Amino acid sequence: MTDVLPERLSSSHLEDLALIVLSARTDTSNINLYPEMRSDVRARLRSRLKQLGRYNFPASLTEDKALRRGYTLRQCCRLTVALLLIDAHLPASLAVTLASNNELGFLRAMADRLARGIGIAMPNDLVAVIMTGELQDAFAVPAWLATEPARVRFVRRDEIGRLWTDDLTGSGARLVVDVATATGALWAWISARRLMTDLARTALIAEIEYEEGAGCMAFEGEKKRG
């Protein structure tokens, strides 16, 4: 039996993808499928994509020999996370490190949103919380590794008001990244434009469900995953 090749998004769509996820709204039922961009906006997005490409992100030809044919849905999700982190003014190198070292956590949060398909944001959507007080050494030490689990947590949208409780101890501010809303917009755009079929969505959800690694953290009273 031959393996089924994953569906791929052409690199010609990446600038549109970047705008879609960075301008996402909580209701994806009326998304602009063909966003218009001024030349300066397109140039900025292209520059960010090139920045990430210098770090072989979301993938390299060594990891994925078919990369020239386009990007898988998983790679599109990885790219979405990095774009959101850069948009929050994190350096590209740090954005790539955080996205890579916490990939499964981000993907699990995104899979929960993908499972609902097109629709509005829900209270149980997961958002990423980055403990910026724990990142101070990252700007002083280039060789910093973001392996400590306390630096990135995943909490329900309706628990955002409790970010300074004992469940999320640590100094400094919290950077909240709404990966669920961006994911909803990403899939609404991809599916409506018929850039991938629903098989890509269901295959990625199944893939993430069976992978091992650090899971999602929930506050007391909620189920812990991982």
Q: Going residue by residue through the chain, which has 226 residues, state the pLDDT in tens, using 9 for 90 and above.
A: 456 788 999 999 999 999 999 999 888 777 888 888 999 999 999 999 999 999 999 999 999 999 999 999 999 999 999 999 999 999 999 899 999 989 999 999 999 999 987 778 888 999 998 876 555 454 444 333 444 444 788 888 888 877 766 555 555 677 899 999 999 999 999 999 999 999 999 999 999 988 854 444 443 333 444 3
Quote the pTM value. Answer: 0.83
Beta carbons within 8 Å of 190's beta carbon, 6+ residues apart: 9, 73, 76, 196, 200
- DSSP 3-state of 127: strand
Cβ burial of 144 (10 Å; 0-12, 13-18, 19+) is: middle
